[in-house]
Amino acid sequence: MARVVVDVMLKPEILDPQGQAVQRALPRLGFEGIADVRQGKRFELEVEGPVDDAALARIHEIAETFLANTVIEDFSVKVEVGEGADTSAVKAES
């Protein structure tokens, strides 16, 4: 079984209040030098069978219609092989 990871992030032009709250808290906790923080979501999908073009197209459709709100969020799809070793990102940005 292969694992496909879908990362969902707010588009850069969308305000990220959770990321801003973390950014403001970091210096108070002694962590300096962080210029920006963006918060997102990660979905790990276990795929039965090979992760071929048809499977990736289906996952792209799932991400676009269910996992991400493409009006305000972008997403990327990556296939993980073995013990967490990432392959290159699949062309699946929204």
Domain containing residue 56: CATH number: 3.30.1280.10
Q: How many domains does the chain have?
A: 1
The amino acid that residue 3 corresponds to is: R
- pTM listed for this prediction: 0.81
Q: Is the confidence at residue 94, as pLDDT, over 80?
A: no
| Rounded CA Rg of the chain | 16
Cβ(3)–Cβ(80) below 8 Å? yes
Is the residue at 93 inside a domain? no
pLDDT of residue 1: 86
Is the residue at 85 inside a domain? no
Going by the DSSP 8-state scheme, the letter that residue 57 receives in this structure is H
Percent of the chain with pLDDT over 70: 86
Q: Is the confidence at residue 84, as pLDDT, over 50?
A: no
